[in-house]
Amino acid sequence: MLFAPPRGTNDPEDFPGEGSDPRTLFPAPLSARLVLLGGLFTLFSTVAITLWLIGLAARYPDHALLAPVAGGGAVIVTLTGVCLIAFLFRERRHLAAERRLALSEARLQTALENTGDGIWDWQIPGDVVHLNGALIARLGFPVDTPSPTATWETMIHPEDRPATLAAFHDHLAGKTPSYHARYRWKLPDGVMIWVEAKGRVVTRDRSGKPLRMTGTLSDATPQVEAEELMREKSRRLEESNRDLEQFAYVASHDLQEPLRMVSSYLGLLRRRHGDQLAPEALEFMSYAEDGAKRMSRLILDLLEYSRVTTRGEPPETVALAEVIDEARSNLRMIIDETAARIDLLGCDRTVLADRGQVVRVFQNLIGNALKYRSPDRPPIITLRCGEDEGWVNVSVADNGIGFSPEHAERIFIIFQRLHGPKAYEGTGIGLSICKRIIERHGGTIEAQGTPGEGALFRFTLPRAPGPSRSTGGAPDNQDRRRRDQGRGADGRGRDQGRLAP
């Protein structure tokens, strides 16, 4: 039985909702068999009597009553047979419905037992509550209580009781579509657990007075503990970010001052006494000056790395073409010096991001492509953009010196370098900043490389709501030629789709 009868009774009449049990619409199997046997007995008896009357009518054709009686018996036999056949078909449907109902109840009972939710059905007039086994066994609700609702109120933690009862009575008054509350629940052994209650009034009288309410009561302790753990982790993360920001502040000010002093005095020593020092001493001074400069750059990059999350701006709609233009403008001098060509394909799209940080990502990736260019050919950098399920996919490919595939993950680790500082300047933190920025926006970034052929970086950013295309940014000549070639007779460009190789 799905619900336990209240107060220890076991009367089927106490089941909630008079006439709500679908099984009352069909006769019980035993009753059906008795009706069937009675129908068959009646049919066979009528057939036997009718045949006997027909035989008498044939033996005594001159008898005035036998022929009409025999004819009437035949009609009765026909009607009885038709009724019996109809009854058999009806009973077959009823038995099939009975089996489906029993199977459905078994599945429901299994589901409720597996979820562990307590099910309650409250007959408001009379204060009669029907409970299932989970509510009785697992949540400790007493069955033989003379006043279930009053007992329920005493099991609610005193601090949670006012808000819980307010939500409950608001729903009874019709102010809310449903009842939902989370509160602490006292078990019979005195232990407090968190429970989540949901319910709804299913029957009201003509004046709107509630008559019947059903709902569930489930143990929410694991969920509450998980939420509390998440809040604690979030709090610790915020503290860690504040500590990191404070450290970055100290690093950017207090640690820079000694480095500036070292560089200043080394320069002063070179100017005043350089002609008195041996060449070896001057060489050592150059090493010290270079070390101080690298340390200063390292501190500044570390400061920027820490501020990706602590000083980031709220996301806004950003046109990729515009931020790419800004990054190219910042790198204009080295682009002109190296005669680099930068091609844009399908990058007239918008993303939801921190504009300044996106500029930094493109500036770092394009700057790396220029830094690690091949000495045998001018740099060619291709930026391709596409969309996929709410994300904008961007790839930055170059024809530089490339790198070995086994270093594809290592290059994103902070301070990791594939080349010595003498070969290529830098601190090895640029790609780490790119990864931190992309992950702050919920995206991913990856790299592929082939030694001597070039490198490819792919990353994703969330697409901005609204139109996916933008008109910002000034495309270079190569991009303009590609767009002009892609225009059809109607003057509209063909969609590039997901162009990342």
pLDDT of residue 352: 94
**Residue that terminates a domain, selected from 219, 240, 271:** 219
Nearest to 152 by CA among 199, 186, 201: 186
Tell me the H-state helices in 155-255: 161-172, 221-253
Residue 30 banded pLDDT, cuts 50, 70, 90: low
The mean per-residue pLDDT over the stretch 278-292 comes to 87
Res 324 pLDDT > 90: yes
Residue 476 banded pLDDT, cuts 50, 70, 90: very low
Q: Are residues 386 and 481 in the same domain?
A: yes
Q: Are residues 234 and 208 in the same domain?
A: no
Dihedral pair phi/psi, residue 90, rounded to 5°: -65, -45
Q: Are residues 145 and 183 in the same domain?
A: yes
Q: Are residues 449 and 354 in the same domain?
A: yes
Res 333 pLDDT > 70: yes
pLDDT of residue 434: 93
Res 201 pLDDT > 80: yes
- 493's CB contacts (< 8 A; 6+ apart) are 483, 486, 487
pLDDT of residue 301: 78
pLDDT of residue 318: 93
Res 50 pLDDT > 70: no
Whether 14 is in a domain gets the answer yes
Q: Are residues 143 and 100 in the same domain?
A: no
Whether 500 is in a domain gets the answer no
Range of the domain at 136: 118-219
Whether 300 is in a domain gets the answer no
Q: Are residues 41 and 61 in the same domain?
A: yes
Q: What is the 3-state secondary structure (H, E, C) of 353-387?
A: ECHHHHHHHHHHHHHHHHHCCCCCCCCEEEEEEEE
Q: Are residues 192 and 209 in the same domain?
A: yes
pLDDT of residue 446: 93
Whether 478 is in a domain gets the answer yes
Q: Are residues 480 and 370 in the same domain?
A: yes
Q: What is d(CA 304, CA 292) in angstroms, rounded to the nearest whole number?
A: 19
**Lowest mean pLDDT, pick from 140-144, 307-311, 313-317, 449-453:** 140-144
Domains identified in the chain, total number:
4
**Lowest mean pLDDT, pick from 21-25, 184-188, 263-267:** 21-25
The mean per-residue pLDDT over the stretch 129-138 comes to 73
**What's the number of CA atoms in the CB half-sphere (13 Å) around residue 103?**
6
Q: Are residues 166 and 290 in the same domain?
A: no
pLDDT of residue 247: 74
Q: Are residues 413 and 344 in the same domain?
A: yes
- 354's CB contacts (< 8 A; 6+ apart) are 312, 313, 314, 315, 316, 437, 440, 441
Whether 491 is in a domain gets the answer no
Residue 479 banded pLDDT, cuts 50, 70, 90: very low
CATH assignment at residue 411? 3.30.565.10
Instruction: Read off the pLDDT of residues 393-445 as tens digits, 9 standing for 90 and up.
Output: 999 999 999 888 888 888 888 777 776 666 677 677 889 999 999 999 999 99
**Residue that terminates a domain, selected from 80, 114, 148:** 114
Res 4 pLDDT > 50: no
Please name the amino acid found at residue 61.
P
pLDDT of residue 102: 77
**Residue that terminates a domain, selected from 93, 114, 135:** 114
The mean per-residue pLDDT over the stretch 375-401 comes to 92
- 195's CB contacts (< 8 A; 6+ apart) are 139, 182, 183, 184, 185, 217, 218, 219, 220
Q: Measured in whole angstroms, how far is the alpha carbon of residue 341 from the centre of its chain?
A: 42
Residue 472 banded pLDDT, cuts 50, 70, 90: very low
Whether 302 is in a domain gets the answer no
Res 236 pLDDT > 50: yes
pLDDT of residue 29: 52
Q: Are residues 80 and 96 in the same domain?
A: yes
The mean per-residue pLDDT over the stretch 444-448 comes to 93
Beta pairing class for 445-450 and 341-345: unpaired
pLDDT of residue 313: 83
Residues 157, 162, 163, 167: is their CA dihedral positive or negative? Answer: positive
Q: Work out the mean pLDDT of the chain and round it to a whole number.
A: 78
Residue 143 banded pLDDT, cuts 50, 70, 90: low
- 458's CB contacts (< 8 A; 6+ apart) are 393, 394, 395, 445, 446, 447, 448, 500
Residue 385 banded pLDDT, cuts 50, 70, 90: very high
Whether 306 is in a domain gets the answer no
pLDDT of residue 194: 93
CATH assignment at residue 181? 3.30.450.20
The mean per-residue pLDDT over the stretch 351-360 comes to 93
Whether 85 is in a domain gets the answer yes
pLDDT of residue 244: 73
pLDDT of residue 36: 63
Q: How far is CA 88 from CA 31, 94, 179, 207, in A?
A: 13, 10, 47, 45
Q: Are residues 64 and 155 in the same domain?
A: no
Res 486 pLDDT > 60: no
pLDDT of residue 498: 30
